[in-house]
Amino acid sequence: DVKVTQSSRYLVKRTGEKVFLECVQDMDHENMFWYRQDPGLGLRLIYFSYDVKMKEKGDIPEGYSVSREKKERFSLILESASTNQTSMYLCASSPTGTGGYEQYFGPGTRLTVT
């Protein structure tokens, strides 16, 4: 079974803190994604990576950065957390291929910024 794990299920941080969210997948997938989920807005793509050290901006990259030093690990960084970044953060991975693009999701990290 594909497994995607996220470092924390719940996180509470103060405004201005630097926040690291970690994601690890064990299926040797090339692609990894970070989304945030907010009620009524669905999933919005923050950043994704299709290879080690490669990253591409998604739809809402402002205020975030990412790091992918190893194939299995994709980190999301909030340089200076703000209250409007309170949200559920979901990590996903997928293989590259000519077939479908099914993504496998981690359990999510609910981040609260106070």
Partner 1 sequence: GEDVEQSLFLSVREGDSSVINCTYTDSSSTYLYWYKQEPGAGLQLLTYIFSNMDMKQDQRLTVLLNKKDKHLSLRIADTQTGDSAIYFCAGSFTGGGNKLTFGTGTQLKVEL
Give 88's contacts (C-beta < 8 A, 6+ positions apart).
Answer: 36, 37, 38, 108, 109, 110, 111
54 vs 82, which CB is nearer to partner 1? 54
Query: Scanning residues 37 to 96, which ones bind partner 1 (CB under 8 A)?
Result: 40-43, 45, 48, 50, 58-59, 90, 92, 94, 96
Distances (CA, A) of 10 to 50, 68, 70: 27, 22, 24
User: Which residues are 47's β-sheet partners?
Assistant: 34, 57
Q: Would you say 80 or 96 has its CB closer to partner 1?
A: 96
Residues that bind partner 1 (CB under 8 A): 4, 30-31, 33, 35, 40-43, 45, 48, 50, 58-59, 90, 92, 94, 96, 100-108
